[in-house]
Amino acid sequence: LQKVHVLPQTVLYIADAETFSGHEEGHEQKKARKRNSKETAIALEKLLPKRCQVLGLVTPGIVVTPMGSSSNQPQEIEEGEAGFALLFPKIDGVKIHTFHFSKDLKNRVFDESKFAEAGLKNNPDLRVVLLFGYNSWKSGATRFLHQIVNPLNEKSIILAGGQVESFTSLTSENNNAQPGDACGVVGLAFSGPQIQSATVLLDQDVADERTAEAAMQRLKAANIPERNTIGFMFACVGRGYRHYKTKRNMEADAFRKFFPNVPLFGFFGHGEIGCDRIVTGNFVLRECNDIKDDLLHGYTTVMTLIHLGSTK
């Protein structure tokens, strides 16, 4: 952080499990991995301002645009050690905050009043919600994720994300929650009237360069301004080079072809959240019989653009 001249207010970092907690074999090493993860998370947070919101995720693989690279070629890193951090400073007209919902073992029904407390309801400026489920293998995890996603499934909000292996950090002024053995959802909410966003879903039929680029054309057609915009890619671990017949970096390359100046970040996970959707300042989409979009998928990729407004 020695070269950072603008202090971050919100940080999202993502690393693969091998990088973050060391490569350990066997069930008996589970506690050691947790301890190593916590120690690493604490060390990272000590580098940041005390009032900074931090959300850290551990995933099977990552997608990153190395900002130190002259070509800024986004890379799908499915194997080996890798990680990245996005540092968001204070942005005029934009509010970014973290949230966390964990499954209550005593109650089967989620208390939706918690949405309002987290700024996800009764918030007319809410534009984008990035959602990350963890411990998805736990009993009741899928049902709990539906309880979170379904009430937020509104045409005026972009929902995107996926299932990660775990989260290691979640700090804010009012939230010192630490990961436990329960399942749950963490995320980032982006609020502000100037925010514009769009997502596209690459389903199982997208399996070659032509169909991948066709999906990027749909995203391009949303006409989201590309200056001051970030791209996110949330892909299934079953895609990548395995899905594209050993051809690596297919989806990241397709994104860069249509968005050469937009950095792309994300991960390979265990399930995806998203659909084809556009949210802009003058965008109105008529509800068709109030049918909700299908947001939970497997063996897919969700590509997302988030425009944070024009820079002065």
Contacts of 47 (CB under 8 A, 6+ apart): 1
DSSP E strands, 28-164: 53-59, 61-64, 75-77, 83-88, 95-102, 126-134, 158-163
Residues of the chain short of pLDDT 50, as ranges, are 1, 24-28, 173-179, 284-289
Alpha carbons 101 and 187: distance in angstroms, whole number = 9
Residue 178 has a pLDDT of 46
Element housing 142 (H / E): helix 141-152
Nearest residue to 22 (alpha-carbon basis) of 43, 37, 12, 42: 37
For the CA atoms of 93, 169, 160, 23, the dihedral, rounded to the nearest 10 degrees, stands at 140
Residue 6 has a pLDDT of 72
Q: pLDDT digit string (tens) for 147-197? A: 999 999 988 899 999 999 988 887 754 444 444 568 899 999 999 999 999
Residue 158 has a pLDDT of 95
Residue 286 has a pLDDT of 45
Instruction: Give, as one character, the DSSP assignment of residue 94.
Output: B
Residue 306 has a pLDDT of 97
Predicted TM-score (pTM) of the model is 0.89
